[in-house]
Amino acid sequence: MNITLQDIQNAAKLIDGKVLRTPFMRSLKLSEISGADVWLKLENLQHTGAFKVRGALVKLLSLAQEERKSGVIAASAGNHAQGVGYFARQLGIPATIVMPKGTPFTKISRTEALGAEVVLYGDDFIAARDHAYEMAEQHGFAFVHPYDDEHVIAGQGTIALEILEDKPDLDALIVSIGGGGLISGIGIAAKAIKPDIEIHGVQASLYPSMYDAYHQVATDYTGEQTIADGIAVKEPSANTHAIIDQVVDDVFLTGEIEIERAIQMYLELQRIICEGAGAAPLAALMQNKETFKGKSVGLIVSGGNIDSRMMSSILMRGLVREGRLASLRISIPDMPGVLATISKIIGDSGANIIEVHHQQIFSDVALKQTQIDVAIESIDSKHVRKIVEALSKQGFQTRVLSSDKAGAEDEVF
């Protein structure tokens, strides 16, 4: 591929007034926490909730009249699908979208609401893409690739033009990598305008395809489901890999828990709804603070299309990790008044009981003993420890069934 700054500037003219020029805002809170001067490019505010509308529109506008008449097909985990569907409807182009079977319901319903026909096929993007190729051959559809296409990459690169117009002295950008179209377009434009700017990519550790290609390593691939489904690509593109080798300074990996925490931070600190792929750059920043300390760093918040149930689970799990929500298993004698005593100890310690479960029949404790599980709201993990210590001083053996360390074994006091 030979994509130039001029191509990206031409793409910017094509989409001007049709695609939202999203804000590039400074985050004081994230700057304080990370030690960098953090700026956020809010692509989650696009019409379809993600940056993909940019490349999709540029590609659709490049099609000949006969191609538009025959219709288009795309393979996508959701955001590219909505981008294609949104502008295909506006341009009067029939659209079919092939999605992996595990695609979040919210992305499926939103794509269908845009008038596109959705076909669910395969367990991952590669399987969906191959099926879309077959359908394109059978029905004469024009294939709109989510990243391996010059027009799409040029469209995504318009993000960098806006960023450097807003903040020309930016030191670095951190961009999520799935297939590599977003970071390729951003890297080409940003390096052409400001050659000394640092471009850093990030992938979910469960899908390290471009990380492996870039660093020439072989990371174990497990095929597990990732919260960052928008960047869950198993095979690197040769075209975007070649571009990334030229314009990207480093590629990081980040884990599932780190991405969860980043989603929670965006919501709680910035009131920003962000999906896993969009939160990965913040996760990478928090894991590599020394690399970015003192620098002005732009994070691409690439999308906000997250399932509400997943968001709820992330927030609850975050409360558990921080000790703001904890479950205590307490051994008590089976006699009247003990539960009141337990409640008073917890209440006097400043916590709030939100649930109590008493189990004696299906238990391995002695007949005159029983166990209760008490869910409490607390300030943090230190507060939980103080509550447990207060219970143990009164002779109640207590286990913390949840703690601030994800995956930690039960703590016994």
Do 41 and 60 fall into the same domain?
no
Q: Of 108, 143, 178, which residue sits at a domain end?
A: 143
Q: According to DSSP H, which parts of 124-275 are helical?
A: 125-139, 150-166, 181-193, 209-215, 238-247, 256-270
Domain range for 239 is: 5-51+150-317
Tell me what pLDDT residue 365 has.
63
Query: 330: domain CATH number?
Result: 3.30.70.260
Q: Of 123, 143, 163, which residue sits at a domain end?
A: 143
Do 237 and 331 fall into the same domain?
no
Q: How far apart are CA 69 and CA 63, in angstroms?
A: 10
Is 344:149 a contact under the CB 8 Å cutoff? no
Do 36 and 120 fall into the same domain?
no
Q: How far apart are CA 160 and CA 220, in angstroms?
A: 33
Do 224 and 156 fall into the same domain?
yes
Q: How far apart are CA 306 and CA 107, in angstroms?
A: 8
Segment 243-273, tens digit of pLDDT: 999 999 999 999 999 999 999 999 999 999 9
Q: How far apart are CA 147 and CA 133, in angstroms?
A: 15
Token digits of residue 300: 């691409």
Do 207 and 248 fall into the same domain?
yes
C-alpha distances out from residue 67 to 59, 116, 142, 143, 200, Å: 12, 16, 6, 10, 37
Q: How far apart are CA 133 and CA 145, in angstroms?
A: 10
Task: Taking the CA atoms of 204, 147, 155 and 14 in sequence, report the sign of the dihedral they define.
Answer: negative
pLDDT reading at 408 higher than 80: no
**With 0-12 CB in 10 A as exposed, 13-18 as middle and 19+ as buried, what is 12?**
buried
Q: State the total domains in the chain.
A: 3
Do 162 and 32 fall into the same domain?
yes
Do 192 and 235 fall into the same domain?
yes
Segment 55-98, tens digit of pLDDT: 999 999 999 999 999 999 999 877 898 999 999 999 999 999 99
Q: Of 127, 143, 159, which residue sits at a domain end?
A: 143
Do 206 and 172 fall into the same domain?
yes
Task: Taking the CA atoms of 264, 269, 273 and 274 in sequence, report the sign of the dihedral they define.
Answer: negative
Tokens 């009164």 correspond to: 394
Is 374:328 a contact under the CB 8 Å cutoff? yes
Query: 63: domain CATH number?
Result: 3.40.50.1100
Do 268 and 353 fall into the same domain?
no
Do 313 and 355 fall into the same domain?
no
pLDDT class of 360 with cuts at 50, 70, 90: low
- The one-letter code for the residue type at 399 is R
Q: Write down the mean pLDDT value for the chain.
A: 91
Do 123 and 242 fall into the same domain?
no
Tell me what pLDDT residue 334 has.
78
Do 299 and 331 fall into the same domain?
no
Segment 269-301, tens digit of pLDDT: 999 999 999 999 999 999 999 999 999 999 999
